[in-house]
Amino acid sequence: DTAVSQTPKYLVTQMGNDKSIKCEQNLGHDTMYWYKQDSKKFLKIMFSYNNKELIINETVPNRFSPKSPDKAHLNLHINSLELGDSAVYFCASSQGEGAFFGQGTRLTVV
């Protein structure tokens, strides 16, 4: 069983498009995150949700909109994609003692 799963694994799209990445966790955790990993491998938190409530929004452009329909899901919608959005996006969940990560979604904007 995959603890944190995100889809799709790869996403190639043109500038200006709107796309979504889905994330689901089956660990029963209350907290979920989205992280962005850039080309230099730096991991930066984007959002954190605790029990469906937005807790952290780290100065992410409002083109990025997370949605948490329930505690087990945290989806990321991105409007008007830009070249600079190309990165690997990781979903994670946590119950305090470490975060469990999905396999990542490699987004390439062309």
Partner 1 sequence: AQSVTQLGSHVSVSEGALVLLRCNYSSSVPPYLFWYVQYPNQGLQLLLKYTTGATLVKGINGFEAEFKKSETSFHLTKPSAHMSDAAEYFCAVISSGGYQKVTFGTGTKLQVIP
Q: What is the pairing mode between strands 73-78 and 105-109?
A: unpaired
SS3 assignment, position 27: coil
Of residues 31-50, those binding partner 1 (CB under 8 A): 31, 33, 35, 40-43, 45, 48, 50
90 is a site residue for partner 1 (CB under 8 A): yes
Of residues 50-79, those binding partner 1 (CB under 8 A): 50, 55-56
60-68, Cβ contacts within 8 angstroms, sequence gap of 24 or more? 66/34, 68/32
Residues contributing to the site for partner 1 (CB under 8 A): 31, 33, 35, 40-43, 45, 48, 50, 55-56, 90, 92, 94, 96-104
